[in-house]
Amino acid sequence: MAQTEHDNTGDCPAAAYLRQQPENLVVNGYRNWIAGLAHSDSRYWDAAWSAHAKVLGAIDGQIALDAIASLVRQLGACVTCPLRFYKPGAGHLCRDECLVLGMVSGAQHGDEDSLVQSAKLLTCSEACVEVVDLASAYAAVLLGHSQAHIPVSAIVDIERRSTFAASQSSNSQH
């Protein structure tokens, strides 16, 4: 279901975006949930819950965590290849993490094209509607606590810079 991306200690252009609380909450929530599944280790899920509860409060933190857990389960059931992720806390973004951010950001900013396109790039077409609904539910809980994400255009910039950096360096890990 999931595959960990190799991590090195250097910052990539995504590191600055990951220092923003809303993006960090989503990415590390996604990473911790998948890592918990991949390693059968509830400590990852506890870390995801703690981060969400700290920002959203215990009740809404649990609602948000249930939403991202449902999203990850649905993605795991219908992805076109194993879900990829970096280890929690890494200062990088892989393709799948960018697409999850794209779904959440698209939902929060009313950018249906970005929301649906990100979902389509992650899923089989039969499950795309469910993935969009689950990502939108998660996005709404975050937005209700002023955890608005950067617009997708900034995420596109991350991908462009990462691709350029990778073409300039033969040892890039993403």
Predicted confidence (pLDDT) per residue in 123-152, tens digit? 877 678 999 999 999 999 999 998 887 777
Stronger pLDDT, 80 or 74, i.e. the higher one: 74
Locate tokens 């992650």: which residue? Answer: 122
Stronger pLDDT, 165 or 80, i.e. the higher one: 80
Q: How confident is the model at residue 160 (pLDDT cuts 50, 70, 90)?
A: confident
- Token readout for 8 is 């090195």
How far is the C-alpha of 117 from the C-alpha of 113, rounded, in Å?
6
Predicted confidence (pLDDT) per residue in 98-121, tens digit? 899 999 999 999 999 999 999 998
Stronger pLDDT, 19 or 162, i.e. the higher one: 19
Stronger pLDDT, 158 or 1, i.e. the higher one: 158
Closest CA to 123 of 93, 83, 85: 83
The chain-wide mean pLDDT, for the chain, equals 84
Q: How confident is the model at residue 82 (pLDDT cuts 50, 70, 90)?
A: confident
